[in-house]
């Protein structure tokens, strides 16, 4: 009965509306082809194209992340993951950093997965460590980075070490917060406080899985649509010529590439090939900062994180990740 009530609630129409918006974007983009005859300004076409590409790139990983979140919350035994983590907070966060090796989801899918881990008992600082490290420390990202920069191990090693250190330092800083609840959004707190049903029959599991699927998609998908549209608009209007001019400066090049990473919102599984195009115009440190900061913080990621964490927490994470990514790029530029 509870699941049926959820289906009839106002949340499902909101999700359906979001899916209709995506379908409308596809329709508009298709009908603006010259062969069809409906013409829109070139900038409008580009906006639809970029927004759709961001959604298509992110959607499979978000769905995978939601499914993994359901597996963690419903199908795994109680505290299966939590009990196997070290008790020491520092060692636990270091171990959590490598969960991406077992769960190779890009940053988009890691948000619903982190939500599921929090529901199961993971602390908020631990979830932030996972959220920031997993997109970089996973086999797909490692392979694509090595393939793109095969002749320059500096980029790969600096990206992996930098991602690991930044995620763990941020996790350690937020472990000083007095309360987990003070870092979570009100809507997600309500989800965490829902009682866990003790009747673990297969039928109950299926109903709860369906409920969580709708619940997570309702929370994540609108954020993805909004984030993709904003990312497309900023990419379209961004000062690309200025970024190229700044490429040779050891400090400004890092800031420019970090800004570019924030704007383009490209998936961590393929961002190395995007960055490769700037290898001859930007410093190595700038490339490393792009590959480190981008998977942690970008436009669509901010929208997705807002479904789980309070704005003040997100602002602090952004500031810390940006500062440490800048320092990482400077170390690479001046030491290698």
At 292-308, the pLDDT tens digits run: 999 999 888 888 898 88
Look up residue 71 and give its DSSP letter: I
* Mean pLDDT computed over every residue of the chain: 77
At 199-245, the pLDDT tens digits run: 556 677 788 778 777 766 776 677 667 767 766 776 676 566 666 67
- pLDDT the model gives residue 78: 53
Residue 44 predicted with pLDDT over 90:
no
User: What's the pLDDT band for 1 if we cut at 50, 70, 90?
Assistant: very low
- Cβ partners under 8 Å of residue 260, min gap 6: 238, 243, 290
List Cα–Cα distances, 99 to 20, 85, 209, 256, 291, in angstroms: 34, 11, 22, 31, 19
Span 82-110, mean pLDDT? 82
- pLDDT the model gives residue 101: 77
Span 139-151, mean pLDDT? 81
């Amino acid at each position: 009965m509870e699941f049926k009530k959820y289906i009839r609630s106002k949340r499902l129409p909101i999700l359906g509306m979001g899916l209709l918006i995506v379908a409308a974007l596809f329709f508009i983009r298709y009908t603006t082809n010259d062969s069809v005859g409906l013409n829109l300004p070139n900038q409008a076409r580009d906006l639809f194209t970029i927004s759709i590409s961001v959604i298509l790139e992110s959607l499979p990983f978000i769905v995978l992340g939601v499914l993994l979140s359901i597996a963690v919350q419903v199908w795994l035994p109680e505290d299966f993951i939590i009990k196997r983590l070290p008790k020491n907070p520092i060692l636990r966060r270091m171990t959590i950093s490598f969960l991406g090796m077992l769960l190779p989801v890009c940053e988009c899918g890691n948000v619903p997965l982190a939500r599921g881990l929090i529901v199961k008992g993971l602390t908020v600082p631990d979830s932030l460590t996972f959220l920031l490290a997993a997109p970089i420390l996973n086999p797909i990202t490692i392979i694509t980075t090595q393939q793109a920069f095969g002749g320059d191990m500096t980029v790969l090693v600096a990206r992996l070490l930098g991602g690991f250190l930044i995620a763990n330092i941020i996790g350690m800083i937020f472990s000083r917060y007095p309360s987990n609840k003070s870092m979570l959004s009100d809507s997600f707190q309500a989800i965490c406080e829902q009682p866990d049903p003790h009747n673990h029959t297969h039928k109950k599991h299926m109903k709860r899985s369906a409920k969580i699927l709708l619940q997570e998609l309702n929370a994540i998908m609108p954020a993805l649509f909004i984030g993709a549209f904003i990312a497309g608009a900023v990419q379209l209007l961004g000062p690309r010529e200025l970024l190229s001019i700044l490429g040779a400066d050891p400090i400004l090049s890092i800031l420019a590439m970090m800004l570019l990473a924030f704007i383009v919102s490209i998936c961590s599984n393929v961002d190395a090939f995007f960055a490769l195009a700037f290898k001859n115009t930007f410093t190595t440190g700038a490339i490393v900062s792009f590959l480190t900061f981008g998977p942690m913080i970008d436009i669509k990621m901010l929208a997705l994180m807002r479904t789980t964490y309070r704005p003040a927490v997100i602002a602090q994470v952004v500031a810390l990740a940006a500062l440490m990514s800048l320092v990482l790029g400077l170390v690479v530029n001046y030491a290698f």
